[in-house]
């Protein structure tokens, strides 16, 4: 049975921290599906299609990574795509506390789907999409936090 993993998030925009987690997770899974979740309570800066295109372009030479857009409960989407794992990145202890609560709820909903946490590289701990969006909104240079492809796209 293939080890399919869903890496859910908003990826608004895709940052070097996201890419770090995906790259380090590649040896662990046969397939990583980067799931761009649509969340009615969030107003994204970039369209879901744009975020999906970034993932697809960054990983165009890596057939084990796929970008998708989905709606609804993450655990339900895992069932649809046959993912037995959910991947989450952790930067700080506060991230872990929040993510563990979600993982516990998901485990209650479906005990066959396991959440895997990877800690981010220390050089990426300050990279958060919220901060990157603020930098972009205020005309700052967000390129140190973004993959080159995303940075070029944002600057247009």
The single-letter DSSP state of residue 96 is: H
- 84 part of the active site: no
Catalytic residue among 60, 94, 129, 153: 129
- CB 38, CB 71: distance < 8 Å: yes
- 91 part of the active site: yes
Tokens for 62? 């890596």
- 137 part of the active site: no
Catalytic residue among 51, 79, 84, 91: 91
Centroid of chain to Cα 105 = 19
C-alpha distances (whole Å) from 3 to each of 87, 90, 137, 145 are: 12, 21, 39, 30
- 42 part of the active site: yes
Catalytic residue among 42, 49, 123, 152: 42
Q: Tell me the pairing of strands 85-90 and 65-71.
A: unpaired
Nearest by Cα to 128 from 21, 3, 5: 21
Nearest by Cα to 69 from 6, 25, 139: 6
Catalytic positions, written as ranges: 18, 42, 91, 129
């Amino acid at each position: 049975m293939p080890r399919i993993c869903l890496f859910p998030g908003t990826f608004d925009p895709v940052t070097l921290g996201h890419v770090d987690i995906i790259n380090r997770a590649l040896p662990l899974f046969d397939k990583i599906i980067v799931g761009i979740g649509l969340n009615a309570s969030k107003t994204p800066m970039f369209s879901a299609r744009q975020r999906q295109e970034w993932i697809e372009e960054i990983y165009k030479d890596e057939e084990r990574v796929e970008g998708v857009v989905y709606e609804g409960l993450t655990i339900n989407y895992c069932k649809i795509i046959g993912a037995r794992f959910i991947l989450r990145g952790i930067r700080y202890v506060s991230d872990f506390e929040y993510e563990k609560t979600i993982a516990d709820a998901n485990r209650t909903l479906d005990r066959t789907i396991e959440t895997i946490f990877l800690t981010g590289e220390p050089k990426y701990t300050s990279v958060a999409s919220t901060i990157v969006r603020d930098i972009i909104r205020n005309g700052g240079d967000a390129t140190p936090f973004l993959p080159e492809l995303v940075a070029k796209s944002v600057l247009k």
